[in-house]
Amino acid sequence: MSTLAPGLPLSSPVPFRPSRKSLILAWLPTFFWMGVIAFESTAIFTSEHTESWLFSLLKTLFGLRFALAHSMVLNEYGRKLGHFTGYGILSLLAFFGWSAMLVYHQQLFLAGKGKAVAIARRWHLRAAALAVLLTFVVASCDELHQAFIPGRTATFHDVMLDTLGGIFAQILILLFWKPKTPKQLAPEPVLAGAGSANRA
């Protein structure tokens, strides 16, 4: 009967294996938010429609005179703020997706060398840059899509505003990110019998 090699604890944990499921789960919020952005890019959310909704809300809350005086300006600034915030959220979610992917591939590399190491996600310049790049690409595709929708307009100014929102989100992550301490796990157990056979 084979026994564990001398000095190896009997309570050694099961060797760590990178999880493809966790990688998929890390990307799901990003794809969901891209779907939200695509929905907001339809004819339902034209400037005329959002101004009409805002006008009705302001009229109900503050009266007709206030709604007539401020609905147009608030609608314009609100839409710009929506661009900045919406793509900032996309950049934030994409960062977690990219950072999970970088960790996944690093763990695969280490596992191939027989090292069982669980690597904690951390702020990474590559993940931040890829998140901003994804924000720029999605914003560009969104504006191109709007060029073919009646009542919508496509402007490069909005693409830059969206990208600035993505960069701002990465600055916030850099300032407030608190990574967990990586957890080191033991390598795979080595059987004493196998070692004796090799020495023979």
Per the listing, tokens 């929102």 go with 165
Q: Which has the closest alpha carbon to 133: 102, 90, 101, 172?
A: 90
Section 14-19 average pLDDT:
54
In a domain, 194, yes or no: no
Whole-angstrom distance, CA of residue 7 vs CA of residue 134: 49
Residue 191 forms beta bridges with which residues? 4
Residue 85's domain comprises 23-187
* pLDDT confidence band for 88 (50 / 70 / 90): very high
Structure tokens given for 193: 């019998």
* Percent over 70 (pLDDT), the chain: 74
Q: Which of 23-32, 141-150, 162-171 has the lowest mean pLDDT?
A: 141-150
Helices H / strands E in the chain, number of each: 6, 2
pLDDT of residue 74: 94
Model-level pTM?
0.77
Instruction: State how many domains the chain has.
Output: 1
In a domain, 1, yes or no: no
Whole-angstrom distance, CA of residue 152 vs CA of residue 147: 7
In a domain, 170, yes or no: yes
In a domain, 95, yes or no: yes
Q: Tens digit of pLDDT for each residue in 126-151?
A: 999 999 999 999 999 999 988 888 88
DSSP label at residue 65: H
Whole-angstrom distance, CA of residue 122 vs CA of residue 178: 8
Whole-angstrom distance, CA of residue 62 vs CA of residue 151: 28
DSSP label at residue 149: S
In a domain, 139, yes or no: yes
Q: Evaluate whether 137 touches 160 at the Cβ level (below 8 Å).
A: no
Q: Evaluate whether 168 touches 92 at the Cβ level (below 8 Å).
A: no
CA angle in degrees (0–180, nearest 5) for 63-66-70: 140
In a domain, 93, yes or no: yes
